[in-house]
A and B are shown apart, each in its own frame.
Chain A
């Protein structure tokens, strides 16, 4: 009998973006434990699977910085030193968690609570304002499957899925045929609101080229006009009133509309006020037709991180355990603000790269204090860490649960083993919890 060399795993879930595509097929060379082919994924998803193969960019052993260079150590030694740093620290920050699975995220909560530390995830720098707004005004929303089958008007506001969520368009929002949208693209009207003529705008039916940082005014203008107010202005946010009237007509006349918004709203000046207003606009449009709204979440399991943190502590991000119970206050306990005030004295970064993603001034303060990185790859954060704990890729090298951007939980699959001595994020955090408890005499 010929020995089977290639194993194909079907219905694999892509652990990259919040679209969480669950139709991938991955060929694995079982003898050498290598991904050799990925079908159905977009360019980014494909690269993620290939990058899990052993390479000079992958960590395979625990490392400790010794006189400026990394040296290999045993897991026991690495965990001991890491636990020592965390146990001795007065204000440790535990950050990341968006690119790992839910079980590991709940271990992160346990460790933060044990340490009396600060717990935060990457929503802090992307869709945190969305959570704030949802807490303020609620949110009329649904699942991607409903949108696919029903929506005839799709608005991408400050989001550019061609680049950030490449298969979203093909699977849910543009080209795909739905139960009531049998003709696919022809049955949907697509609007993009963005200061740039993005690639998504280039394939839309209507592009509203709003001035940067003026979405708030535009949305409130639309809300006022929707109520019949005649505005004494020729333009709002760079858009002629006539064009806005045309837009309102389209909004009112659709059968089922949905707004997918992105960081164009959350990361510009008005932050959560933008989202408040977008949600209110959506709600008000329900006086005329069916309208819903969904954030385009970036990391594949950031929705899971918010959900897991919430069911454990009551809050989705920016959580402080220093008083022995969870307190929540974005702006105070959010990572960038803490770093800008130089308030932390150690950090544990799980599956994230704040050195690349935080404003430069805050990164300087991150580097002032001991830094432990739980990470599969070389990143600017890990390369500047004091301890590197090499992790397996969740969704490629271990199973777990992840939440899609619309809060649908999906079970991640394992397609191959992790190389070298890598452990899963959950295992690493469990080891740290045990060791920290031992050191704290618990």
Chain B
């Protein structure tokens, strides 16, 4: 199952903030920021259960994260990934000459994947070092 033509937003969450302090390389950070919050009705269309890994793709990259139902809905057509290494695989690095990349509002696609691992922050960043 998949959803197309979504808009990806990123931003702070309190859990992500808590995980920043001393837990960036831990599972706590994965649970806090390696997730994608999906609108309740959009989630129904996926016919799957919370926690199923999903692959998110934008024009700028792709990443596998855990799916959750958004507590901050309804926001049909919008998905949210807390700021952090997972979201940053997908964001638009172009700052249009102002310095700040476009972290919000990318067009995105979401697919349920059967096999696929949600990497932790270090594993994910290591892929960039090796690239």
Contact = CB atoms under 8 A, between A and B. Distances in A.
B9 interface: yes
B14 A336 contact: no
B101 A268 contact: no
Interface stretch (A144-152, A190-198, A285-293): A190-198
B84 interface: yes
B25 A380 contact: yes
A212 interface: yes
Contacts of B89: 360
A367 B128 contact: yes
B73 interface: yes
B45 interface: no
B21 A47 contact: yes
Contacts of B88: 356-360, 363
Contact of A377 (B24, B92, B125, B128): B24
Contacts of B61: 360-361
Contact of B22 (A57, A212, A357): A57
B100 interface: yes
Given A55-B22, A164-B17, A378-B24, A357 B73 contact: no
A268 B105 contact: yes
Interface in A240-292: 263-264, 266-269, 271-272
Given A129-B100, A363-B125, A380-B121, A336 B95 contact: yes
Interface in B62-113: 70-75, 78, 80, 83-85, 88-89, 91-93, 95-105
Nearest to A266: B100
Interface residues of A, number: 70
A364 B128 contact: yes
Interface in A316-336: 317-318, 330-332, 334-336
A336 B99 contact: yes
Contact of B102 (A58, A269, A330): A269
B7 interface: yes
A202 B18 CA distance: 22
Contacts of B75: 195-197, 209
A201 B60 CA distance: 30
Contact of B100 (A124, A195, A356, A363): A124
Contact of A51 (B21, B74, B78, B84): B21
Nearest to B121: A380
Q: Which 9 A-B pairs have the closest CB atoms?
A: A51-B22, A334-B99, A331-B97, A330-B99, A359-B93, A164-B12, A213-B105, A380-B125, A267-B103
8 contacts: A43-B18, A44-B20, A47-B22, A57-B23, A125-B100, A357-B84, A377-B22, A383-B122
